[in-house]
Amino acid sequence: MANLIKAVRGTRDLLPPETGTWNFVESAVRDVFRVYNFQEIRTPILEDLQLFQRSVGEETDIVSKEMFAWEDRARAQSEKGQWLALRPENTAGVVRAYIEHKLWERPGLQRLYYIGPQFRRERPQKGRYRQFYQIGAEVIGPTAAGSESPAVDAELLEMLASLLERLGIQGWTLNLNSVGCANDRPVYLQALRDALKDVVHAMCADCQRRAETNPLRVLDCKVPQDQPIIEKLPRMSDYLDESCRTHFAEVQKILTAMEVPFVVDHRLVRGLDYYTRTAFEFTHGALGAQNAILGGGRYDGLSESLGGPPAPGIGFAIGEDRLVMTLQESAGVAAHPADVYIAPLGAGMNMHAAKLARELRGKGVVVVAGDESFKLKKSLETASKMGVRFALILGENEVNSGQFALKNLSTGEQASVGKTEIAGIVTPSK
């Protein structure tokens, strides 16, 4: 017998009934995003490697350590191959599409959302996989369309609070910070480097490396021994210029007016180089130490760094894997079983069962049909194991009379019903 081939480490199959929860999440996402006027965009899974080097940052862990990248074979030996990457995140691809298709020529701000797989070569752990799924959205456009307004930031955050409420997730925390902009960031980074000089030797290996390549990421360290040192490092809020300070204050003011609770976290940074001004995370205790459900922020200079026009923007990404895990551990969303199991009895009954199933499905009833070769006992046992609520017995007498034996499998009650009554009885009330 040949060796069994299994899913690649860090990937997995999503199976029923768990996929019912995924469908529930994605349906709720589409409903919420629709009323905020977001429209779906679908970008390629494959992108030019330079897209992420120039946007995410060559010194970030994502680009330097976690990306799946390779040189595509050239058509001829004289040609140089193109370096490709499986997308590790989707904001860069959305902004690339915004530039490539000149979406700034469309009226107003572009409100775009996506749902799809991303790829990172990181150590698999609870809720984290090498192929993982993200739900994200971006608001981007010219300054003249209001893209820099703090009201855009606040509306996006309020939409996310509404989405979590719609999904039934309670007890979340919105952590908020400003990471500054091109005017004030260099001053802060220098202050951070100066403060780290005398203490970084006592920190973890990752912090020692980041202190040289990307000191802002030191603030995001989760190693317990490093926390007392990090607490004493300079805060970005003390180095914001007047425009960034005013912008951040206005975001907080609008959120307060909308009664969206938040906590200002002076240590909050994002792991990508393109973030500016507003940065945020929604966290939840059900996920343990790695407790972020989603995060995002502003990226006002990203379009220019990719060769496009000025187009301030803000966006976020939800780790759908971790969001589903949160739902399963805290909200208990369950998959909806079939409404009725049709049990055909006797030769020639499969044809009548198929016809009845088609009629019921046309009315929105979820139907599972058995086989005429099954004994009634086997059909009822199968229906019960599947969690189906009703079994409809279909034999020659039922076909001739138009009256069907309908059995409630949870109570054991059985009644004779007409064909036109079935849908109304077996379909759960909305």
d(CA 280, CA 285): 17
Max avg pLDDT among 20-24, 323-327, 340-344: 340-344
Residues 84-91: what's their mean pLDDT?
93
- Residue where a domain terminates, one of 331, 363, 382: 331
- Interval 111-128: pLDDT, tens: 999 999 999 987 766 667
Angle made by CA atoms 332, 258, 317, in degrees to the nearest 5: 50
pLDDT bracket for residue 108 (50, 70, 90) = very high
**How far out from the chain centre does Cα 11 lie?**
16
Residues 75-81: what's their mean pLDDT?
63
> Are residues 48 and 31 part of one domain?
yes
Residues 185-206: what's their mean pLDDT?
86
- What's the domain range around 359? 340-426
Percentage of residues in the chain having pLDDT higher than 70: 93
Query: How much is the pLDDT for 392?
Result: 94
Higher pLDDT, 128 or 26: 26
Do residues 268 and 175 lie in contact, with contact meaning Cβ atoms separated by under 8 Å?
yes
Measured in degrees and rounded to the nearest 5, phi and psi for residue 316 equal: -155, 165
d(CA 262, CA 204): 30
pLDDT bracket for residue 201 (50, 70, 90) = confident
Query: How much is the pLDDT for 20?
Result: 86
Query: Residue 5: inside a domain, yes or no?
Result: no
- Per-residue pLDDT at 30 exceeds 90: yes
Query: Residue 204: inside a domain, yes or no?
Result: no
> Are residues 391 and 260 part of one domain?
no
- Per-residue pLDDT at 284 exceeds 90: no
Query: Residue 366: inside a domain, yes or no?
Result: yes
**Domains identified in the chain, total number:** 2
Do residues 105 and 311 lie in contact, with contact meaning Cβ atoms separated by under 8 Å?
no
At CB < 8 A and 24+ separation, what contacts does 407-414 make? 407/380, 409/380, 409/383, 409/384
Query: Residue 207: inside a domain, yes or no?
Result: no
Residues 364-378: what's their mean pLDDT?
92
> Are residues 368 and 258 part of one domain?
no
**Cβ atoms < 10 Å from Cβ of 351:** 11
Query: How much is the pLDDT for 413?
Result: 92
Residues 165-187: what's their mean pLDDT?
88
Do residues 240 and 178 lie in contact, with contact meaning Cβ atoms separated by under 8 Å?
yes
- Per-residue pLDDT at 360 exceeds 80: yes
Max avg pLDDT among 66-80, 213-227, 307-321: 307-321
CATH number of the domain bearing residue 129: 3.30.930.10
Query: How much is the pLDDT for 273?
Result: 67
- Residue where a domain terminates, one of 274, 302, 331: 331
Query: How much is the pLDDT for 316?
Result: 95
> Are residues 273 and 308 part of one domain?
yes
- Interval 33-47: pLDDT, tens: 999 999 999 999 999
Query: How much is the pLDDT for 74?
Result: 62
> Are residues 294 and 362 part of one domain?
no
Element (H, E) at 323: helix 320-326
> Are residues 378 and 319 part of one domain?
no
- Residue where a domain terminates, one of 281, 309, 331: 331
Average pLDDT, whole number, for the chain? 88
Do residues 298 and 328 lie in contact, with contact meaning Cβ atoms separated by under 8 Å?
no
- Per-residue pLDDT at 430 exceeds 50: no
Do residues 377 and 385 lie in contact, with contact meaning Cβ atoms separated by under 8 Å?
no
> Are residues 304 and 349 part of one domain?
no
- Per-residue pLDDT at 225 exceeds 90: no
Query: Residue 319: inside a domain, yes or no?
Result: yes
Max avg pLDDT among 119-128, 161-170, 253-262, 277-286: 253-262
Query: Residue 1: inside a domain, yes or no?
Result: no
- Interval 286-333: pLDDT, tens: 555 557 889 999 999 899 989 999 999 999 999 898 888 888 776 555
pLDDT bracket for residue 375 (50, 70, 90) = very high
- Interval 389-399: pLDDT, tens: 999 999 999 99
> Are residues 247 and 103 part of one domain?
yes
* Coil, helix or strand at residue 79: coil
pLDDT bracket for residue 272 (50, 70, 90) = low
CATH number of the domain bearing residue 401: 3.40.50.800
> Are residues 290 and 150 part of one domain?
yes
Helix spans in 223-319 (H): 227-231, 242-257, 302-305
Q: Give the pair of three-digit tokens for residue 1.
A: 């017998």
Q: Give the pair of three-digit tokens for residue 304.
A: 């220019």
pLDDT bracket for residue 218 (50, 70, 90) = confident
Percentage of residues in the chain having pLDDT higher than 90: 55
- Per-residue pLDDT at 217 exceeds 90: no
243: left (phi over 0), alpha (psi -120 to 50) or beta: alpha
Query: Residue 357: inside a domain, yes or no?
Result: yes
For residue 233, CA distances in Å to 69, 220, 241, 329 come to 36, 12, 19, 36
- Interval 116-159: pLDDT, tens: 999 998 776 666 789 999 999 999 999 999 999 999 999 999 99
pLDDT bracket for residue 82 (50, 70, 90) = confident
> Are residues 165 and 252 part of one domain?
yes
